Structure 1
């Protein structure tokens, strides 16, 4: 018995003196009593720290979420505002690329001008031009015509260039009574003719290179071009076709007034535009209808108007027209010094016997009837005076002083008395 107990005791691993009754039964873990009973203090502290960590993580996540939502809202709002906000007006910068000539048409307003500039790559947008032009009163003074500007320039610079009169090109004026060729007086003074005026108007400098047409190029174009290409109106075709001097056959068909030509145009193109627009101006006076009422063709009315222009002052246009018609009716020579001078290299108020004796297509001392062509560019006023001549039986007239006072008479005797007055006043003084 003792051996068995000893064996069991040795195998139990328990201290001596404790029997099976004391240690053979499994016991529960000890329980804490007092404050915090049921949970160890270090466990509570650990759990509290864990809760604080979770709260902090939650707060961080919340703040991150709020931040992300704020950023998102910002970009959404910005995108909305940007969509509603107008884009910057497209405009060029710098001093431009190349010189270019643009045309402002009759009746063009600001938007029309802007469109022309955009089409020629002068400015980038019409909006930029209209913005730059706002408040610029001088823009209203822009006249129809041609202007030298540069491509790809800021709209404000374009406005400056268009309002700079020095940059207007191709503009010139034809005075009343001017003829195609230059007029040289007996004193040597030269009055530029229409061909010279047109040639001067084509002179231009583009990108540092100057060009200028020669007056003779226009004369050659008139002499060699088809009448259709020259813009000759139908009512003048037959007479123009018969003209003996091809270079002068469109005399009178370019009206007096202010003109604009494209410096880059060919001589034929330039002449055609001038003749076409002049024909419209003449037709607006009723030349095709009223000429018939005075017994002449429209082209003959234009010839008479050119004589009226060269022989009288505006206040006498209608009277001189009546004298011409009266002489034509009785088959009397017109005998106008202006028709003699037209064929001369030099001109003067009083012509010589030799000059008056020369037979030319225009010299009315050497033939009856009208000159073959007009002898100048008449004004619209001269044409209206021709179409509406004043009533009277006058056959003669003479300017009696240098102020232009003109006397109209029915008899040769009375006319000669006034001729003597004119001579005494130096009207017929010759430079020869």
Structure 2
């Protein structure tokens, strides 16, 4: 009995000893591998081959390490983690897309991600922006949204497959509206204008957008339009349009006129003028709608231009333009949804300071229009 019990005890002790030895050997091997991995590193600031990486919202710098190792930007995640831990500014990284290079030292990769010069500039869509560039007579031109997207995607050295104006225009003209995220209330109108890139005018709300330069033209437009549709829908555009006697798409079109015609602080008054004229009925006769169809624009328009028939010229057609003429801001949308009370049918800006006068009668309007001519604001340079 005693002999058997002693033998079992020796067996257990031997098993424990072997297990302990194996555990120690495994631990030593793991430490060695970890040390080797953390020590492996590229030298220098990269091989010149540009790569775009993203730091998502709410992510930390250290979380990027495994992806950088997989893509050959840094040699090992371990080296990157060490470099991030040794950089006191690593917690201040901002979300967005960054331009790095292949085969960077971990230290240089961390420094590059913290350098604002390597961050891809977000797309800034301003109120009144148009899809295409605008050439202004006697003044600086206005870059279109497509050109601004091209500037983001085609900057840096990796320009072979970047998204340019031509690619964006083709997708805008030909892609299925629903697949691009066009809201339900605009799909039928947009589909009816297949082949014309301007059918997407007004469907990208002004604001700041972070664009992945590696995305396709369709992916970029889908992202912008889908986000914009949510913003417009969140204003209650469907119900509010019914309240003012318009369809949601017509309200979008009218808001684009407000954006291009109204001075700051007068959006709701111009919205009321639009509704009053449509109800009269009277032609809107907005110079901004004349300019939208011209290769070159200015504040004043000529008689010849005002007589030119286009899908937008409200001097030559009844009702609203067939599409928006710009991207309306939320302020313009909300002005159309909540127009001011008034009987105004006319308005004119009478000086270069932006002073705008609203009138009920054509006689009063003529007097104020003459004041505008006298101030020089309506002098054509053509």
Bin the TM-score by the shorter chain: 0.7 to 0.9
The residue that corresponds to 1:8 in the other structure is: none
Does residue 194 (structure 1) correspond to residue 194 (structure 2)? The answer is no
| Paired residues of 1:133 and 1:139 also in contact (CA < 8 A) | no
Find 2:107's aligned residue among 156, 163, 166: 156
Does residue 338 (structure 1) correspond to residue 282 (structure 2)? The answer is no
The residue that corresponds to 1:317 in the other structure is: 267
The residue that corresponds to 1:276 in the other structure is: 226
**TM-score normalised by the chain length of structure 1:** 0.73
The residue that corresponds to 1:225 in the other structure is: 175
Rate the CA distance shift 1:424–1:113 in 2: closer, same or farther, 3 A.
farther
For residues 175 and 142 of structure 1, the distance between their equivalents in structure 2, rounded to whole angstroms, comes to 23
The residue that corresponds to 1:413 in the other structure is: 363
For residues 242 and 86 of structure 2, the distance between their equivalents in structure 1, rounded to whole angstroms, comes to 52
| Paired residues of 1:340 and 1:362 also in contact (CA < 8 A) | yes
Q: Which protein has the larger Cα radius of gyration, Structure 1 or Structure 2?
A: 1
Does residue 267 (structure 1) correspond to residue 217 (structure 2)? The answer is yes
Find 2:133's aligned residue among 179, 182, 187: 182
Mapping 1:14-93, distance limit 5 Å? 88=35, 90=38, 92-93=41-42
The residue that corresponds to 2:200 in the other structure is: 250
Q: What's the secondary structure of 1:408's corresponding residue?
A: strand
For residues 55 and 150 of structure 2, the distance between their equivalents in structure 1, rounded to whole angstroms, comes to 21
Rate the CA distance shift 1:252–1:297 in 2: closer, same or farther, 3 A.
same
Rate the CA distance shift 1:109–1:306 in 2: closer, same or farther, 3 A.
farther
| Paired residues of 1:334 and 1:368 also in contact (CA < 8 A) | yes
| Paired residues of 1:318 and 1:385 also in contact (CA < 8 A) | yes
Shift of 1:340: 0.5
Shift of 1:287: 2.1
| Paired residues of 2:179 and 2:222 also in contact (CA < 8 A) | yes
The residue that corresponds to 1:40 in the other structure is: none
| Paired residues of 1:204 and 1:211 also in contact (CA < 8 A) | no
Q: What's the secondary structure of 1:93's corresponding residue?
A: coil
The residue that corresponds to 1:374 in the other structure is: 324
Find 2:77's aligned residue among 118, 122, 125: 125
Shift of 1:235: 1.9
For residues 356 and 107 of structure 2, the distance between their equivalents in structure 1, rounded to whole angstroms, comes to 56
Shift of 1:191: 2.2
User: What 5-or-longer segments of structure 2 have no aligned partner?
Assistant: 1-20
The residue that corresponds to 1:108 in the other structure is: 59
Which is further off, 103-112 or 124-133? 124-133
For residues 138 and 393 of structure 1, the distance between their equivalents in structure 2, rounded to whole angstroms, comes to 60
| Paired residues of 1:290 and 1:387 also in contact (CA < 8 A) | yes
User: What 5-or-longer segments of structure 1 have no aligned partner?
Assistant: 1-74
Rate the CA distance shift 1:294–1:139 in 2: closer, same or farther, 3 A.
farther
The residue that corresponds to 1:426 in the other structure is: 376
Q: What's the secondary structure of 2:266's corresponding residue?
A: helix
Rate the CA distance shift 1:125–1:184 in 2: closer, same or farther, 3 A.
same
| Paired residues of 1:200 and 1:213 also in contact (CA < 8 A) | no
Find 1:94's aligned residue among 43, 49, 66: 43
Shift of 1:199: 1.7
| Paired residues of 1:200 and 1:212 also in contact (CA < 8 A) | no
| Paired residues of 2:178 and 2:187 also in contact (CA < 8 A) | no
| Paired residues of 1:102 and 1:149 also in contact (CA < 8 A) | yes
**TM-score normalised by the chain length of structure 2:** 0.81
Q: What does the per-residue CA deviation read over 1:47-104, in whole Å, with 9 as the maximum and x for residues that have no partner?
A: xxxxxxxxxxxxxxxxxxxxxxxxxxxx9xx989979999558363323454311123
Mapping 1:285-324, distance limit 5 Å? 285-324=235-274
Q: What's the secondary structure of 2:358's corresponding residue?
A: strand
Q: What does the per-residue CA deviation read over 1:220-250, in whole Å, with 9 as the maximum and x for residues that have no partner?
A: 2211222233222222101112237612110
The residue that corresponds to 1:147 in the other structure is: 98
Does residue 241 (structure 1) correspond to residue 191 (structure 2)? The answer is yes
Rate the CA distance shift 1:131–1:167 in 2: closer, same or farther, 3 A.
closer
Q: What does the per-residue CA deviation read over 1:394-432, in whole Å, with 9 as the maximum and x for residues that have no partner?
A: 211111111211112222222222212211111102111
For residues 378 and 163 of structure 1, the distance between their equivalents in structure 2, rounded to whole angstroms, comes to 35
Aligned length: 355
The residue that corresponds to 1:15 in the other structure is: none
Shift of 1:210: 6.0
Structure 1 vs Structure 2 CA RMSD: 3.1
For residues 185 and 94 of structure 1, the distance between their equivalents in structure 2, rounded to whole angstroms, comes to 51
Mapping 1:207-218, distance limit 5 Å? 212-218=162-168
Shift of 1:154: 4.1
Q: What's the secondary structure of 2:212's corresponding residue?
A: coil
